[in-house]
């Protein structure tokens, strides 16, 4: 298996999305998230849907394309515009010599 890098996916609901329609797939979404978390593909998920119509997903994959493909497996993804950011470790402080 190839190296899995961490990415942050910022998923914003597309303008005009019917939240009533979105709510009809919540159980299916939760089941798929559980499956992908068990497989080590999705980590943490944070919601800012009430104020910003945005979902933040920690996703692991070998490339941005791989990550997008994984996110697109989620039922709600059809209503999302995605921004995908590769994550890196914080810089370590330099020791003065």
CA dist 35 and 62 (Å) reads: 19
- By CB neighbour count within 10 A (0-12 exposed, 13-18 middle, 19+ buried), where does 10 fall? middle
Assign 27 to helix, strand or coil.
Answer: helix
CA dist 43 and 23 (Å) reads: 22
In this model, does residue 96 exceed pLDDT 60? Answer: no
CATH number of 5-86: 3.30.70.1060
Bridge partners (DSSP) listed for residue 6 = 60
70-95 confidence digits (pLDDT tens): 999 999 999 999 999 999 988 877 75
CA dist 88 and 52 (Å) reads: 25
In this model, does residue 32 exceed pLDDT 90? Answer: yes
For the chain, which residues make up each domain, given as ranges?
Answer: 5-86
């Amino acid at each position: 298996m190839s190296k899995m890098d961490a990415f942050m996916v910022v998923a914003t609901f597309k303008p005009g999305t019917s939240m009533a329609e979105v709510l009809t797939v919540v159980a299916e979404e939760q089941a798929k998230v559980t499956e992908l978390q068990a497989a080590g593909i999705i980590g943490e998920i944070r919601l800012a849907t009430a104020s910003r119509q945005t979902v933040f997903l920690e996703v692991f994959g070998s490339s941005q394309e791989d990550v997008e493909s994984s996110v697109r497996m989620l039922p709600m993804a059809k209503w999302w515009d995605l921004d995908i950011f590769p994550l890196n470790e914080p810089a370590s402080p330099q020791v003065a010599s």
